[in-house]
Every structure is written in structure tokens, then in C-alpha cells.
Amino acid sequence: MASDAASALSTLLTSIWSLFDMTYPGLNMSVRSVVFGLFMISIMIYVLRHVFGFGQGSSGPADRSGSRSVSSARRYDEK
């Protein structure tokens, strides 16, 4: 029973893995190499973002105009 399940699983994984061996017409590239290339590009973008700090919001001083406390007598002076 266990060997039948292992055999069926092996057959299923082999058939799925063989789908990645198909090549794009005219490019001589397999689907496996394209998926691997896209995976490597995403890893490199992730590493570069963390090394150089891209996409983490502004690193400058925060706008503090909303955090000032203004007395109620001077609240509407500049309007």
C-alpha cells in the first residue's frame, strides 16, 4: 500500500517536472530556465532593496506641523 502511494506520487511529480522541460518556440529556452531566471531576478531585487534601502518610505525628517501645540488664542492668526 505504501509503495503504491509512493509510486503514484513519484509518477505525479515526474510528470509535473517534465512540463518544465518544454521549450519556447524560436527561443531555445525551457520553461524551467525562465522560471529559474525570474526567481533569481526577484531575489536580486529583494537583496538590492535591503542593501540600498529602496522602497522603505522617506528617511528624511517627519513633517512636524501637525504635532505642534498651538494655544487656542493663536490658533487662527495665520488664516
Q: For residue 23, what are the contacts with CB-CB under 8 A and spacing of at least 6?
A: 29, 30, 31
Q: Is residue 71 part of a domain?
A: no
Q: What is the pLDDT of residue 71?
A: 75
pTM score over 0.75: no
Range of 12's domain? 2-53
Q: Is residue 63 part of a domain?
A: no
Q: What is the pLDDT of residue 31?
A: 87
Averaged over successive runs of 10 residues, the pLDDT of the chain (79 residues) comes to: 89 88 85 91 93 71 59 72
Answer yes or no: are the C-beta atoms of 31 and 20 closer than 8 Å: yes
Instruction: Give me the number of domains the chain comprises.
Output: 1
Q: Is residue 37 part of a domain?
A: yes
Q: Which residue type is seen at 59?
A: S
* Alpha carbon separation from 72 to 38, 65, 68 (Å, rounded): 58, 16, 12
* Alpha carbon separation from 45 to 35, 52, 59 (Å, rounded): 15, 10, 20
Q: Is residue 59 part of a domain?
A: no
